[in-house]
Amino acid sequence: MSCNLKPHLEKFLKTVRKYNLINPGDRILVAFSGGPDSVFLLRMLFESRSILKLSLAAAHLHHGIRKVEADRDLEFSKDFAENLGIPFFSAREDVALYAEENKLSVEEAARIVRYRFLEETLDRWGGNKIATAHTLSDSVETVLFNLFRGAGPSGLAGIPPSRGVIIRPIITFTREEIFDFLDQCGIPYVMDSTNQSLDYARNYIRHVIVPAIRKRFPGFESSIAATSEIFRVEKEFFEKRYEYIREKSFKLSLGEDLIVLDTGSLKNYHRAELYWFFKLFLNLDFFHTEEAVNLISKGQGRLSMEGGELIKSYGDLAIIRGQLKRIGTFRFSPPCEVEFRYPNFRIVSQITGDAEEIEAPFVFYWHETGEFEVGPRRPGDRVESVGFKKLKEMFIERKIPSWRRDLWPVIRRGGKILWVPLVYKHRFKHSRKYVKLEVVKVDEERGWIFDI
């Protein structure tokens, strides 16, 4: 059977131009396993190098798995690249050990190690793009995998033609097209025996589910590709929209582990926009994305997520990574300062003969010197207010969001609550000498918990 390169090369060039994957002068490092897909990719790039005005190199990572078979793959890949006359790079990694040390699956560990190797090799060679051999069949399998695990519209976009320096020039080719071409042209390749194991979810989809679907719906891969293209364009739109929504709804940040959004602003956006917003912002699965969107319309509520939680309280949507912190407790005697860098405030205390700023919200006067205490609220705290009143009730009356309350300073003397900024001030007596307490920002560029 004759080897007809032309139709495959034309389709390859059409894909490259449609998605603007390659520019004249590009130096492209091919992720080369020696398998049929990467052999096809390298051959297409090699055949089009003069047309596209590109430079080529190949990189192969030995994963330390499959032993003799992996050694064979390395030798095959090296010989293949040398026969084409292009630079070849290789390395060996113990992926199984990396997976164990980092508590990862072998698949995830292999992906991390492989891309790290490719990026380091790209820098060493002086290249600007990495070409991977993802195919239309891979993208279809990814869509099905994401559909089964409930990934939402983002997962249905499939594998994109490019991502950063990564390009996927054979993303429009099916695996069957590739096998047919290589076999017709007598181009050798190696096969990874682990690709046949049904223990892996993707292999089960590839060898069991896809053939069953194809038997009933022969052209289904093209249909899924068209649908994925729509979702991909939609994703690109919402990625741009995401930045706008985040900017408009941003309220304050106390660092990467605590960001607060304004729920009043978020309610102005369509539910579809919020789905994409939370997916892109927090990388939540479909279930938690839906729960996050529902949380916006609730009066109060919490949602646990991987590595943190969302807290809706009054106008705040607090996004907390890790555990919600509390301020510590400190005793001090004026004049001095007590600083809380995390909530971004400090208590400045001094001795003065005047009490001129008694109405200022962040200033408090007391008529006795001595030792004071600043710290978080305590269970059962009460303040003097026409009798006694629970501090919790005063926080609620002033609509102080629940997440802020453990970061809110409570000033005490002798166990009695004297001052809770913006919430409560104890009456003081007139005197010739006062202790002046003031709450000020530590870093003027950052937010603080008093931004209500």
Q: Are 426 and 418 in contact (CB under 8 A)?
A: yes
Distance of CA 250 to the CA centre of its chain: 18
Strands (E), 203-344: 250-253, 258-262, 300-305, 308-313, 316-321, 330-332, 336-340
Q: Are 84 and 46 in contact (CB under 8 A)?
A: yes
Q: Are 406 and 324 in contact (CB under 8 A)?
A: yes
pLDDT given for residue 2 in this prediction? 67
Is residue 367 scored above 80 in pLDDT?
A: yes
Q: What is the pLDDT of residues 86-102, one digit of tens each?
A: 999 999 888 888 888 88
Give kind and range of the element (H or E) at residue 231.
helix 220-249
The number of residues making up the chain comes to: 452
CATH architecture for segment(s) 6-133+168-218: 3-Layer(aba) Sandwich (3.40)
Distance, in Å, from the CA atom of 311 to the CA atom of 292, rounded to the nearest integer, reads: 10
Q: What is the pLDDT of residues 387-427, one digit of tens each?
A: 789 999 999 999 999 999 999 999 999 999 999 999 999 99
The mean per-residue pLDDT over the stretch 358-369 comes to 93
The model's confidence at residue 65, banded by pLDDT at 50, 70 and 90, is confident
Q: Could you tell me which residue, 386 or 169, shows the higher pLDDT?
A: 169
Q: Are 216 and 409 in contact (CB under 8 A)?
A: no
pLDDT given for residue 105 in this prediction? 83
pLDDT given for residue 386 in this prediction? 67
Q: Where are the domains of the chain?
A: 6-133+168-218, 241-321, 330-441
Q: Are 153 and 234 in contact (CB under 8 A)?
A: yes
Instruction: Report percent pLDDT > 90 for the chain.
Output: 67
The mean per-residue pLDDT over the stretch 12-39 comes to 96
Q: What is the pLDDT of residues 262-301, one digit of tens each?
A: 999 999 999 989 998 998 888 887 788 889 999 998 888 9
Smallest Cα–Cα separation from 324: which of 353, 304, 352? 304
Distance, in Å, from the CA atom of 92 to the CA atom of 208, rounded to the nearest integer, reads: 33
Q: What is the pLDDT of residues 202-234, one digit of tens each?
A: 889 888 999 999 999 988 988 999 999 998 898
Compute the Cα dihedral for 356, 352, 452, 445 and give only its sign. Answer: positive
The chain-wide mean pLDDT, for the chain, equals 91
Residue type, 64: G
Q: What is the dihedral of CA 102, 107, 108, 111, to 10 degrees?
A: 110
pLDDT given for residue 187 in this prediction? 94
Distance of CA 426 to the CA centre of its chain: 46
Is residue 125 scored above 90 in pLDDT?
A: yes
The model's confidence at residue 366, banded by pLDDT at 50, 70 and 90, is very high
pLDDT given for residue 200 in this prediction? 74
Output helix, strand, coil percentages for the chain, rounded to the nearest 5.
40, 20, 35
How big is the chain by its Cα radius of gyration, in Å? 31
For residue 366, how many other CB atoms are within 10 A of its CB? 23
Is residue 235 scored above 90 in pLDDT?
A: no
Q: Are 338 and 330 in contact (CB under 8 A)?
A: yes
Distance, in Å, from the CA atom of 310 to the CA atom of 259, rounded to the nearest integer, reads: 10
Q: What CATH number should be reported for the domain whose range is 241-321? A: 1.20.59.20
Is residue 372 scored above 90 in pLDDT?
A: yes
Is residue 47 scored above 90 in pLDDT?
A: yes
Is residue 237 scored above 60 in pLDDT?
A: yes
Distance, in Å, from the CA atom of 318 to the CA atom of 401, rounded to the nearest integer, reads: 9
Is residue 198 scored above 80 in pLDDT?
A: no
The model's confidence at residue 355, banded by pLDDT at 50, 70 and 90, is confident
In sequence order, what DSSP letters do the residues of 346-379 get, joined into one string?
EEEEEEES----TT-TTEEEES--S-EEEE---T
Q: What is the pLDDT of residues 248-263, one digit of tens each?
A: 999 999 888 899 999 9
Is residue 199 scored above 80 in pLDDT?
A: no
Distance, in Å, from the CA atom of 154 to the CA atom of 406, rounded to the nearest integer, reads: 36
Alpha helices in 93-219 (DSSP H): 95-101, 106-125, 136-148, 175-185, 201-204, 210-216
